[in-house]
Amino acid sequence: MPQASTLALVLSSSPLNEQDKLVALLTAERGVLKAVAPGAAKLRNRFGSLLELFTEGEFQYYWRQDRELVTLSRGEIRKSFFPVVSAADNVFYFCLLAEIVLKSLAPGNRDTRIFKLLKAVLAGREAGMDMDWLTLYFLTWLLRSEGLLFNPRRCSNCGARDLDQAWLRGDYRGLLCSSCRRGERLGLCRAELDYIAWTASHAPGAAGAWAGHFAPAGLLRILTGKIEHHGEFSLQSRRYLPEFR
């Protein structure tokens, strides 16, 4: 049977049966990988804390051509983010990020930016950056990397630029200026539009340098709704976040 190893972040881990677990990994270069971890459901097992949410590890696995899932043989923790991810103020944000990646990335997607982006979000939270702003940055860049982010500087109907305010089209495929608006209700203020443009040239670690002022909750709801709309799914994790209550 072919064998390989990969650097990856754990996105989910759940019981498959009395002894094994089903694990989803975001690999550094091969996209999402779904695997069986034999014996991982036992109290004493060879994987230990390796399969905790967003643990970064080096995973060895093998596969058979007639099976969709690969099988993990062993692994080694590169870095545990457990203290950050499991904190009460953070855990549901990280659950949302993991669910978004699992549901939105197409099979075989090998865009390394998402792996690097999640690593930057984890490092940012370790450094004390606000989780809502880090989540907002992640959503913005995920949409941008998938080619789904609207142009924050241009009306999608008339082409007007340098907007002070805009409204999201009902099909989520662009923004409208005040002249082109026809009953659209989801609006973005100038600061929100500026922030979206600002993220294109600034890393997550520079979020503290953002000079604008707006509460991130509204834009979080808009971008999450856009992801759900285009993916044709509902994100269950968002119900536990204060921004969506």
The tokens for 159 are: 């082409």
Mean pLDDT by 10 residues, the chain (245 residues): 88 93 93 91 83 96 83 94 96 98 86 92 93 95 94 96 95 95 95 95 78 90 96 95 91
Confidence (pTM): 0.93
Other beta carbons less than 10 A from residue 126's beta carbon: 12
- Position 66 scores a pLDDT of 66
* Residue 208: Cβ-neighbour burial (10 angstroms; 0-12, 13-18, 19+): exposed
- Position 32 scores a pLDDT of 94
Other beta carbons less than 10 A from residue 32's beta carbon: 19
Give me the phi and psi of 10, to 5 degrees please: -80, 125
Dihedral angle sign, alpha carbons of residues 183, 193, 242, 171: positive
E-assigned strands of 104-196?
A: 165-168, 175-176, 187-189
- Position 145 scores a pLDDT of 92
Domains of the chain (ranges; CATH) run 3-80 (2.40.50.140), 87-244 (1.20.1440.120)
List all residues 6 or more positions away from 81 whose beta carbon is below 8 Å from its beta carbon: 54, 55, 56, 122, 126
Query: Rounded CA gap, 49 and 83, in Å?
Result: 12
Query: Rounded CA gap, 117 and 37, in Å?
Result: 26
Query: Rounded CA gap, 21 and 40, in Å?
Result: 6
Strands 70-79 and 32-37: parallel
**Alpha-carbon distances of 226 from 10, 62, 211, rounded to whole Å:** 25, 37, 25
- Position 151 scores a pLDDT of 96
- Position 1 scores a pLDDT of 60
List all residues 6 or more positions away from 220 whose beta carbon is below 8 Å from its beta carbon: 132, 135, 136, 139, 243, 244
CB 12 within 8 A of CB 26: no
Give the type of residue at 159: G
Sheet of 187-189, strand order:
175-176, 165-168, 187-189
Query: Rounded CA gap, 80 and 10, in Å?
Result: 10
The tokens for 123 are: 């490092």
